[in-house]
Structure 1
C-alpha cells in the first residue's frame, strides 16, 4: 500500500507536462481536421467503423467494403465506441490519441527513477519522449489505434521490472488489441525480457501471447473478415504474396532482401530514427533494440516509403525501446550529455528540424480559400443517407452506414445508391483530380436523378430527387 501511495505521489511530477502535452496535441489534430486535411484513409475508416459499433450495427466499413476487424484485427475499436454512445464525434479519437501519446511521460518518469537516474534526469527523459518527432507527427496524421500501445509498452516494461505480473499481462492484452502486427513487437519484447533482462516468466508470457495472436489474427481473423491477406503484404511483394510466403523467403532466400535493406532510403531512415536520441545513445543502449527489432525490420524491408520516415505512425512501436536505451545509457553514465538542460536543448533542436508544425503555415492551408462554403454544404447534409464526396470531406460525414470517396481508380457505377453527392471542384481531394470530378458532374447532369441544392465557390452539393 505504501509503495502505491509513493508511486502516486511521484506521478505528480509529470502531471502538468501530461496535461499541457495533451492539450497541444488535441488542438493541433483538431485544427488539422478542421482545415480539411484528414482523409478517408485512415481517419474516415476508423471513425465510421467506431460510429457503427456505437449504434449497435455491424462495422462493415464502406471505404474498404469489409468488417473493421478484417483490417488489422484491432478489437480495441469496440472500446473506443463507448464515448461515441454518449456523443458521437470524431474528436473523441483526437482526444484519446492525445491522451495516449502524452501518457507515456508517466512510465518514462518511473522507469528513469527506478533505474537510478536523479529527478532532473528523469524530467529530461520525459521531454526527450514528448519531443521525439514521431509523437507530434503521428498525432497529426489522422488517428491510429496503435498510439494506445505506446504508453502501454512502457508500462509493460515497468511492470515486468517491478514484478507486477497482472499489470504486465493486462498491458499486453490491450497492446495486441490495437493492431495485429504489434504481436511481433510483443514477441520482440518477450525475447528482450527473457535474454537481456533475465525475466524468464515475463519473457515467456510475452513471447507466447505475441506468437499466438500473430497466428490467430493473421491466419484466421483478417482473412476471414476481409477475404484477403493482411493489407500490408503488398509492401513486401518482392518476397511473396502471403504472410507465410514472405516468412519462408526471408528464411530460405534472404539474399532477396539485400537490394531493399542496403538502400539510401533505409540509410536516411536510420539517421532520422536515431538523430533525436543520439545525445545519449551508447553501447549499452543497443540491447533495448532487441524489442524494437521486429518493427525496425518491417520498416526497413518494406518498399513503402511512408514506413521510412518520422511523419507517419510506423515508428511509434520503436519509440519505447529507444527510451529504454537512453535510460540505460544515462544510468551507466554514458552518452554525450547527462545534464537536463543539454538533453532538452538537443531534443528541441531535433524537434524543430523534424516535426511538421510548419505545415500549419503552408500545406494545411491549401483548402482555406473555399473553407466556409465547404462547411455550409456539409451543414445541408441533414440525414444519415449515403454520401459520395472527396476523401477530405468524407471524414466530416462518416457517421452513416454508406459513405465513399471520389477515386478514379475505383469509380462508382451506380450513383443512385447515394442520397447526397458533395464535390469540391477546386480541391478534388486525395486520390482524385479535377477531370474525374467533372466527369461525375457530367454524369449527374445527364442522369437527372439529382438536384443541385448548393453551388458556391466551386463547392457543389447534389441530393437525389
Structure 2
C-alpha cells in the first residue's frame, strides 16, 4: 500500500469499528428486550445459563436439572469453562446475550480489517459491511438463541482468511478455539479442509482434517451421555451410519420428505441473499467449505437446522463473508460506476432479506403485549435467591436458570422433584404463547395444570399468594 492508501485503510477500519459498536448495541438491545418480554426459550439460552452457573460454582460435573446431564456432557463445549468464569463475575442472562452480541457485532470490523489487507476498494468494503449488518441471520440467531459456537464466528472468518497464509499460529489458534465450541464444529474444520484443498494448501488441509476428526471422536465420546444427535436427526435414513449413507446414495429424494424444495430454497436465500452480488469465482472455494454444514442442515430430520433463528448455520455465515473477501479484490479493478452499482444492489438485496426474514413484527404480536407481565414478574423474582429451588413454566424458567434446581411444569419429570422452595406461575389472566399465538392462561390446557400444581403446593403447606395481577407465587414455609 502507498502512504495514502494506508491512511485511507486506517480510516475505513476506524469507521467500521464504530459501525461494529453500533451494530453490537442494536443486537444486544433487540435480544435483551425480547428476553425481558419472555421471547427466549430454555433451549438453549436457559440450559447454557444453568451450565455457566454450575461451572462458576465449581460444580462442573453436577447434573443439570434442566438437561439431566453435566455441563460438559452437552456437546463437550470447552468454551463453557471461560464462559462460566465470566458468568461468575456477572451472573445474569444478559451476560450471555452480551457476549454473543459482541461476537456478532464485531463482524463488520473484522471483515473490513481483512478486506483492507487485501487492498479492496472502499466502496466494496462498505457494501460488505452493509450485507453483514443487514443479514437477517445474525439478527435472528442473536435474538432467539445462545450457543458457544456463535461466539466463535469472528474466529471462523479469520481462520478461513489465514488458511492460505504461510504463518501458522493464528490459523491453528482460531481453528482450535472454534472446535472447542462443541463436537459438531468438526464440520467447520472439515469444510476448512476442503477450502485449503481448493486453494492448493494440501498439507494444511490434511492437518486440519486430522485435527477435526480427532476432536470429533474425542468430544463425541465425552458427550455421549447427551445422546447421539446424528442418529436422532437422521433416523429417517436408517438405523446405522451405513444404512443412512446407503439411503442417501440410492434414494436422495427421500430428503424431500423432511425438507421440501421450497423450504430449502427459502432457507438458502435467507442466508445468502445479502452477499449474492459480492460473490465471484474466487468464492467457490469458500462455498465448497460451507458444504459440510449446509448439506447436514439440508438432510436433517429436524427443521430447526433450517431455521435462521438457530445456531446451526453460523459456519455458513463465516464462509459467505470470507467468500466475499476473496471475491472483492477482483471486483476492485472494475470501473467506479460498477462498484457503486454493486453497493446499491447489495443494499437492496440486504434490505429485502432483512425485511423478509427478520420477524420484527413479533415484537408487536408476541412481545410488547406481555410488557406489564414482564414488569410484574421482575418485581417478584427479585426476591428469589439463587440458592432456592424453583418450579415454574418454560417461559419463566429461562429467567431463573442460574441455580442448581429448577423444573418446568411442561416436563413430566417435575412431579418427582417435589418439594420446591418456590413455585412461580402466571395468573389466569396473564398471557401465554401457544403455538405462536398469545392466549390467556385460563383458556389453555396448561392453565388447568397450573391450578392443580398450586393446589398441591398448598396441600404441602406452602404459603401461596398473588402479589400482583399477573403472577402467582407459593413459598416454602
Q: Name the TM-score, length of structure 2 as normaliser.
A: 0.87
- Residues 307-344 of structure 1 deviation map (CA, whole Å, 9 limit, x = unaligned): 22323222221011112333344433399963234423
Aligned to 1:443: 456
Q: Where does the alignment leave 5 or more consecutive residues of structure 2 unmatched?
A: 1-5, 436-444
Q: Residues 171-193 of structure 1, C-alpha deviation per residue, up to 9 Å, x if partnerless? A: 01110111211111111111211
Aligned length: 452
- State the match for 2:176 in structure 1: 173
How far 1:383 sits from its partner (Å)?
A: 5.4
8 Å CA contact 1:377–1:460 kept in 2: the answer is no
Is 1:49 aligned to residue 47 of structure 2?
Answer: no
Q: Is the aligned partner of 1:356 residue 2:364?
A: no
Structure-2 residue corresponding to 1:380: 383
Match of 1:389 among 383, 389, 392: 392
Aligned-partner Cα distance in 2 for 1:8–1:210 = 36
Report the Cα distance in structure 2 between the residues aligned to 1:255 and 1:365, rounded to whole angstroms.
Answer: 50
| CA shift in 2, pair 1:383/1:97, >3 Å | closer
Per the alignment, residue 199 of structure 1 pairs with 201
Superposed CA deviations along residues 34-80 of structure 1, whole A, max 9, x for unmatched, are 11222211111001110121121235321111112221111101111
2:188 corresponding residue in structure 1: 185
Contact persistence 2:271–2:317 (CA under 8 A) = no
Q: 2:236 aligns to what SS in structure 1?
A: coil
Q: Which residue of 2 aligns with 1:81?
A: 84
Contact 1:392 1:430 survives alignment (8 Å): no
Asked whether 1:404 is paired with 2:379, we answer no
Residue 29 of structure 1 contacts residue 142 of structure 1 at CA under 8 Å; is this kept in 2? no
Q: How does 1:291-440 map to 2 (within 5 A)?
A: 291-333=289-331, 338-339=339-340, 340-382=343-385, 384-407=387-410, 409-414=411-416, 416-425=418-427, 426-427=430-431, 433-440=446-453
Q: Deviations over 1:239-280 (max 9, x none)?
A: 245xxx236521565234422257332233223333323323
SS at match of 2:253: helix
Partner of 1:260: 255
**Among 130, 133, 137, the residue aligned to 1:130:** 133
Q: CA deviation at 1:381?
A: 1.7
Distance between the aligned counterparts of 2:328 and 2:10, measured in 1?
24
Matched residue SS, 2:472: strand
Q: Kindly report which structure 2 residues correspond to 1:70-109, keeping only aligned pairs within 5 A, or say none.
A: 70-109=73-112
- In the other structure, the counterpart of 1:273 is 271
**Shift in Å, 1:203:** 1.5
Other structure's SS at 2:255 match: helix
Q: Does 1:141 align with 2:141?
A: no
- Give the root-mean-square deviation of aligned CA atoms: 2.8
* Equivalent in the alignment of 1:229: 228
Deviations 1:372-401 (A, max 9, x none): 322232123245111011112112222211
Say which is worse superposed, 448-457 or 414-423, in terms of deviation.
448-457
C-alpha distance in 2, partners of 1:129/1:34?
Answer: 26
Q: CA deviation at 1:414?
A: 3.3
Distance in 1 (CA, whole Å) between partners of 2:40 and 2:370 is: 12
Structure 1 residue 452: deviation in Å?
0.7
Gaps of 5+ in 1: none
TM-score normalised according to structure 1 size = 0.89
Conserved 8 A contact 1:39-1:430: no
Match of residue 460 from structure 1: 472
